[in-house]
Amino acid sequence: MKTNIISLIIIVFMTGTVLTSCGEASKQDAKAAKEDAKELSKDLKQGAEDTSKEIKTAVSADWQKFKAESETAIENSEKEIKVLREKISKASKSEKEKLTQQLDKLEQKSNELKEKLAKRGKAFKDGVISFNEASIATERKFEREFTHDMNELGTALKDLFKNNVN
C-alpha cells in the first residue's frame, strides 16, 4: 500500500512538472515569435527607407542632367529666334508681317516651355515631388513630353522660312 501511495504521489508530481513546463515553453515561443515579428518589421521599414533614398538619388540625378540639357536647348532656340528676327527685318513688308506673327507664336511657345521647366525645377527644389516608384514613371513622362515639345519648336523654327518661299 505504501508503494502504491508513493507511486501515485510520484506520478502526480511528474504530471504536474510536465504540464507546468509545457506552459512555459509555449509562452517562451510566443515571446520569441513577437520579437521576431518586431525585428522583421524594423527590417522592412529600413528596406523601404533605403529604397526611397535610392529612388530619390536616381531621380534627382536624372533630373539635373535633363534640366541642363533642356536649358541648353531653350537657349539655342532663343538664339535662333534672334537670328530669325534679323532675317525677317530684311524681308519684304508683306512677308515681314506674316513671318513676325509666326515667329511671335514660336517665341511664346519657347517661353511656355521655359516656364514649364522652371516650375518643375521649383517643385524639385521645394521637395513637393514624392520619391517612389511612381515618381520615376512620372518624371520619364514629363521628360518625354518636354523633349517632344522642344523638338517640335526646333522643327518649326527651321521651317519658318521654308514655308514662306514664293
Number of domains in the chain: 1
Task: Kindly report whether the global pTM for this prediction surpasses the value 0.85.
Answer: no
- Can you tell me the distance from the alpha carbon of 126 to that of 120, in angstroms, rounded to the nearest whole number? 10
Hunting for cell 521654308 — which residue is that?
Answer: 162
Domain of residue 56, residue span: 2-164
CA terminus-to-terminus distance, the chain? 132
- Can you tell me the distance from the alpha carbon of 119 to that of 111, in angstroms, rounded to the nearest whole number? 12
Kindly give the confidence (pLDDT) of every residue in the chain, 166 residues in length, as a single tens digit, with 9 standing for 90 and above. Answer: 667 777 767 776 677 666 666 666 666 777 777 787 777 777 777 777 777 777 778 777 888 898 899 899 889 999 988 988 888 888 888 888 888 888 889 889 999 989 998 888 888 777 766 666 677 788 888 889 989 998 998 888 888 777 554 4
Distances from the Cα of 41 to the Cα of 30, 34, 35, 44, 45, angstroms: 17, 11, 10, 5, 6
